[in-house]
Structure 1
Amino acid sequence: MKGQLTSVYSLRVFVAIAGSFSAVSPSKRPFSLADPSISLPYKKDTISIALAAIVCGVIPAAIIAIVSCSIAAWRARRADVHLRGQVARRELWEWLTGWLGLGLSFVTAFFFAQAVKNLVGKPRPDFLARCNPDSANESAYALEHYDPAGRVLVDWHICQTKNGGGVGISEFNDGFRSFPSGHTCSKIFLLQRLDSYGICANPSTFVLVAFAGLLYLSLWLAIKFSVGIPILYSDRMHISKDPPFEHGGIYDEASSLRRQNAAPPLYLVALILIPLAVAIYIATTRYQDGKHHGFDVVFSAIIGSISGYLGLRLYHLPIGKSAGRSWGPRGRDRAFGIKIGVLTYAEPVENERRTEDIEIGHTNL
């Protein structure tokens, strides 16, 4: 497990780099004072930064810890006394991989959002309210080019907010960060506070991190409780020992296939969908509050979902084949890399000690 500390430090480095992007002024695209898509009134966020930090970061991490500890306690009670220490170490690994995957999901979404939003410089739907434009002198700031609708495009210097008017200079700069949508704040990342890197607590990105954290939690719960679409483990026809199912006088020899799997309980399906539903609600509030355009929300939800899935699959087996388990740790001599010709970071099977390989059913767990 010591090799995993490099993963923690790597995540912190990427957070520090991404956080430094907050100090960079975003690109400022020309805009039209007659553009209705950026003319919504400025209003406060329905979901505050602090609440989003708790919902998208603290709660998923706490749930992962509670579930992991509960499983560890249950398995330890069923294990032989001399194996309980090994069970505890294995469940500690499950806890660690759960948090590492969550951290990777956050960092991937956070890094992408921080890097892209300043490059794009897309005005928010409530940008004109943030801008407080000097409409009387529009001609002085007009550009030679016109948009397809025939409206005059003006330079951002027409905004009086930059001189202390309007809603504030920080809100003005944030007005050019509509794309992508996520949520950054000084409390959202669990491995280390982002404000230690000088990141301002403002809702410059929102939906990306919401989906990265909450979709990851949904998928992680699906793995732990084995909730997934039933799959066939073998396509071969097996003759069941039970009386065959008869339909229309013809014996159905494939009836044994239906015994390979079954649908999970619906209450578990509902349980794992709750975090995803919360992420969708957070996304809708960003559109409702006039902070992001529809495309921004949808695109960011997709990227956040990809980040969540990446964080999960890097540390966990596929849902249908995991039996509630994550990938094992890297080999002792492979913690920092592998040689050319070596296929996997895992410890070679012939080098594993049998007492450390606790399989389900071998120790009455």
Structure 2
Amino acid sequence: MLCGVAPFILQIVLNYFTVRSWWDLHNSTLGLVLSLALAAAITEFTKVTVGRPRPDLISRCIPKPGSVDPTYGLSDASVCTQTDHYMMEDGWRSFPSGHSSLSFAGLGFFAFYIAGKLHLFDKRGCAPKAWASLTPLSAAALIAISRTMDYRHHATDVLSGSLLGIVAAYFSYRQYYPNLASPYSHRPYSPRIPRDDRLPVHAREVALAEQYTDTETERELAAETVRRDEDGRVLWKDDDGAERVSLRDHAS
């Protein structure tokens, strides 16, 4: 719940106090769901195909008295008296840690979302931005570490699960948002429409403006995205801020 519901609610709150955009909320929700789904699918697949005995496997097994010969003999699951089949099966699925992967997938995505909205890498240096962006990752790390405290996982299970989760989070984030160093990191990619440079100037401006509310700031941003130069050619900006000439004007 903490790694899924909490980021979703906090993304709504952050959206309200920043861009107030339904399109942004739509993309952030899809990205969060994609991140959690990827992490969960890969984690469960690995647990079933690879697996590993948990540190608390003996306590789950409840072996028969005198059934273990630690010096000369080996024992298998036949010595266990545990009647809960699921508990025994789960005892062989330690690698990787599901709590670690899901916590970093959900809270990691939210950390990237915060960093994008605050323009963390705008080359101006601001410690509060960094603290705000790293707070969700700290919570994810706390959840992951707790799995070794109760002997549910080995340390390597936690590390591998955390790495899996953060990779899934970043991959999902980049499906819907530009890189964190982009001047447009606070807004998602445009809808899947034909090539932007093939649209008339007014259509391009409206398409961008409709992603947000009718606030004056966002309309000015949209208006600055497309302009005409001194020769009348249509110029548009890509996600890196570089101006490019319309293909239509190239052809003419």
| TM-score relative to the length of structure 2 | 0.77
1:169 matched to which residue of 2? 85
Change (3 A) 1:175 1:267: same
SS of the equivalent of 1:153 reads coil
Question: 1:113 deviation in Å?
Answer: 1.0
Amino acid at match of 2:6: I
C-alpha displacement at 1:70, in angstroms? 2.6
Distance 1:151 1:100 in 2: 56
Matched, 1:94 2:24: yes
Distance in structure 2 (CA, Å) of the matches to 1:348 and 1:283 = 43
Which residue matches 1:64?
11
Tell me, yes or no, if the aligned pair for 2:61 and 2:81 is still in contact at 8 Å.
Answer: yes
The offset of 1:347, in angstroms, is 3.9
Partners of 2:119 and 2:76 lie apart in 1 by 55
Secondary structure at the aligned position of 2:74 is classed as strand
- What's 2:197 paired with? 349
Name the CA shift for 1:69/1:179 in 2 (closer, same or farther; >3 Å).
same
User: In 2 relative to 1, CA 281–150 (structure 1 residues): closer, same or farther, beyond 3 Å?
Assistant: same
Contact 2:177 2:185 in 1 (8 A): no
Amino acid at match of 2:77: W
User: In structure 2, how many angstroms separate the alpha carbons of the residues matched to 1:176 and 1:267?
Assistant: 43
Cα distance in 1, alignment partners of residues 150 and 66 from structure 2: 28
Question: Given the superposition, is the C-alpha separation of residues 138 and 219 from structure 1 closer, same or farther in structure 2, using an over 3 Å criterion?
Answer: same
**Does residue 328 of structure 1 match 2:202?**
no
| Structure 1 position 151, deviation (Å) | 6.5
Q: Match of 2:120, as an amino acid? A: V
Identical amino acids, percent of aligned pairs: 27
- 1:29 maps to none
Deviation at residue 361 of structure 1 after TM alignment: 5.6
Contact 2:108–2:136 at 8 Å: present in 1 too?
yes
The offset of 1:157, in angstroms, is 2.0
Query: 2:44 maps to which residue?
Result: 114
Mapped contact 2:95–2:157 kept (Cα < 8 A): yes
Distance in 2 separating the partners of 1:307 and 1:218: 13
Structure 1 pair 349/150, CA: closer, same or farther in 2 (3 Å)? farther
Q: How does 1:141-160 map to 2 (within 5 A)?
A: 152-160=73-81
Choose from 101, 114, 120 the match for 1:208. Answer: 101
58, 67, 70: which is aligned to 1:128?
Answer: 58
Shift of 1:65: 1.2
Q: In the alignment, residue 95 of structure 1 is paired with which amino acid?
A: L
Q: Structure 1: which amino acid aligns with 2:197?
A: V
Q: CA deviation at 1:158?
A: 1.8
How many residue pairs end up in the alignment?
Answer: 212
Tell me the distance in 2 between the aligned counterparts of 1:108 and 1:127.
28
